[in-house]
Structure 1
Amino acid sequence: MPLLLLDLDNTLLDRAGPFRVWGQAFLASIGAPPDDIDWLVSVDADGLTDRWDLADAIRDRYRLRMSAIDLVEALHDGVVEHTRLDPLVACTLRIARDAGWIPVVVSNGAVRQQETKIRRTGLDRYVADWVISEAAGVSKPNPRIFALAAQSVRMRLRGAWMIGDSPEADIGGAAATGLPSVWLHRGRSWMDDRFAPTREAAGVIPAVATVLAS
């Protein structure tokens, strides 16, 4: 029974959409121009910007009296509130498990936010376990986090595949670990010449189909 390692944000669960929805509501609440959503999305960098740095950037731009910790909490709660599990993704994970694959989430990020999304959306019912960098003490692309994911379900990494949208964290991590991978391109072109994904796909559903076909 091989491992199916999966990224969380913008792979199993959409993050870009919920962040934009939260951002638009937040900007309206402080009287900022609606067009500033483009600035906010750019500074967020698809979730790669540290949440405390993002909070400081927002506070500085709008000269807010709101504390950084309150803004980080508002961001966390707002994104989680709008995050949903696509029923087709849930069905795909069920099919993968029925085919003998063991889905495990491997995610960078804060435990509270990531675990809340996993449990609140019901994703926990479709995966065998999850490893989150804050709790693991190591982040993707470090091969150690993939080894911890395998250990969490008492399996070996041999035969595993990695699916994710981050060139560096997901595909670079898979390459460093010696694993085949599927990159969710999301309309982007592959630019890194240090390593490359085994396959590319537009979303997690065709990505899982590719792995099962392998």
Structure 2
Amino acid sequence: MPLLMLDLDNTLVDRDAAFREAVTAFLTEHRLPDTDLTWVMALDASGYTARHDVAAAMTDRYRDTVPTTAIHALLDHGAADRVVLADLSRAALDKAQADGWTCVIVTNGRTAQQEAKIRRTGLDQLVQGWAISEAVGRKKPEPEIFQAAADAVGASLAGAWVIGDSPHADIAGADALGLRSVWVSNRQPWAQDSYQPTHVAEDVATAIDYVITAAR
């Protein structure tokens, strides 16, 4: 069965929107300026800033107003408690499985947090497995995590596709392995010259539909 490897954050789920909601609630609860939302989101950088660096910066900024435990709770559970799976994405995954694809999530991040997102959204019922960098001990774009994902579902990387929003983690990772890929642009322009995705799509549902059609 063909293998479809999918990124989680800002691909299958809108992680940034969920984190933005969590930060907004955090600022309101602790009577902090609304304008700090922009600062926190920039600091977080869509989750690519190391958690301990975000925690240290927020602790320093709010040391006189917010308990450290509240900051850690935001970073550990804020996005995971609010992520949703769009109906179109759910339908696309159903279609892929009906068409014979084995679907597996490949994501960087901490195991507890990423598994909470997967289970909260019901993705655990829509994919055959997942590989999370903390558990694997390797992170995208390293080839070992993609191999671990294939191993998790008993599949081969031969003929596999990768779908993700990160040029570096997802598309460069696929390119290094000689795999076809779809970049989920989230309406951003492609800016890399040294490698290219096989296709560009605005969202994951469109990306999945493209892969299904291209493989027929």
TM-score class, shorter: over 0.9
Shift >6 Å, 4+ stretches: none
Q: 1: CA distance between counterparts of 2:125 and 2:46?
A: 26
Partner of 1:66: 67
1:116-166 per-residue CA deviation (whole Å, 9 max, x = no partner) reads 110121110000000000000000000111111111111110110000000
1:30-78 per-residue CA deviation (whole Å, 9 max, x = no partner) reads 22210111111111101101112111111112224623x6522332222
Q: 1: CA distance between counterparts of 2:3 and 2:24?
A: 38
Matched, 1:95 2:95: yes
Shift of 1:102: 0.6
* CA root-mean-square deviation: 1.2
Contact 1:162 1:171 in 2 (8 A): yes
Contact 1:52 1:72 in 2 (8 A): no
Contact 1:22 1:75 in 2 (8 A): no
Partner of 1:42: 42
TM score, norm. by length of structure 2: 0.95
Partner of 2:137: 137
Contact 2:163 2:184 in 1 (8 A): yes
Partner of 2:54: 54
Contact 1:184 1:200 in 2 (8 A): yes
Partner of 1:212: 212
Unaligned runs of 5+ in 2: none
TM score, norm. by length of structure 1: 0.96
Unaligned runs of 5+ in 1: none
Q: Which moved more, 1:133-142 or 1:188-197?
A: 188-197
Q: 2: CA distance between counterparts of 1:104 and 1:205?
A: 15
Contact 1:4 1:161 in 2 (8 A): yes
Q: How does 1:151-170 map to 2 (within 5 A)?
A: 151-170=151-170
Q: 1: CA distance between counterparts of 2:81 and 2:143?
A: 32
Q: Which moved more, 1:127-136 or 1:153-162?
A: 153-162
Matched, 1:186 2:186: yes
Partner-residue secondary structure (3-state), 1:81: coil
Q: 2: CA distance between counterparts of 1:163 and 1:144?
A: 17
Identity %: 46
